[in-house]
Amino acid sequence: MLFSEQLRKAVDPIWEASFQHPFVTELGEGTLDLRCFRYYVLQDSYYLTHFAKVQALGGAMADDLQTTASMANHAQNTYEAELHLHETFMKELGITEEEKASFVPAPTAYAYTSHMYRAAFAGHFGDVLAAILPCYWLYYEIGERLKHCKPNHPIYAKWIEAYGSDWFRQLVEQQIARLNDIAKTVSEKELERMKQHFWTSSQYEYLFWDMAYKLERWPMEEEDVYANERA
């Protein structure tokens, strides 16, 4: 069994929970509250900004120039395709420049990006791939599951189209193959660490849907703190 197959099998219950999360199912049905999707777009834009930086870090850690160039291309795709899509969503959802300027990442978004940086700075290129791959792979599988859905909201249809595309599938397959190649060259201890990164990121993917669906807040947000200081 390939290393990627071992990972996918190990996280199957977690991914199944993502497939069945109401954020995902209601997006496919077109019934998801736009407030949840609006919140998701802002948080995911923050996440993708750091995801692209971790991709670039991975490229810098690669052993060969071809892989460095490929990872740089992946980071560029994150910026040009996914973040551009989110910019389009922001315009359609009426998200203002003031909202962007005052944005604060939610606890889950902050924790997830911090986990990816920790994997990168405490490990090697294989750790980076293991930490970022669930985002690629899970989104592709969700796109495949939802691609026959016909939500009556154009924003949801665009989201499904982006992640169920052949272009995105090729990116996912490339990273899976790269992870399998690295797995052949590292120690058992390193493989276990990579498995843990993959498992943790899979958990955070579920938590990200839940964060957006519940409009997660910090226990004490800035306005609450300032109100207490004035009192």
Annotated active-site positions, please? 135, 205
First to last CA, the chain: 62
Distances in whole angstroms, Cα of residue 136 to Cα of each of 37, 75, 129, 142: 19, 12, 10, 10
Helix, strand or coil, per DSSP, at residue 95: coil
CB 134 within 8 A of CB 205: yes
Q: Cα(27)–Cα(6) distance, rounded to whole angstroms?
A: 29
Q: Cα(194)–Cα(127) distance, rounded to whole angstroms?
A: 5
Which residues lie closer than 8 Å to 156 by C-beta, 6 or more apart? 27, 28, 30, 32, 37
| Rounded (10°) angle between helices 125-146 and 34-61 | 150
**What phi, psi does 83 have (nearest 5°)?**
-70, -35
CA–CA–CA angle 147, 86, 168 (5° rounding): 45
CA–CA–CA angle 182, 184, 186 (5° rounding): 70
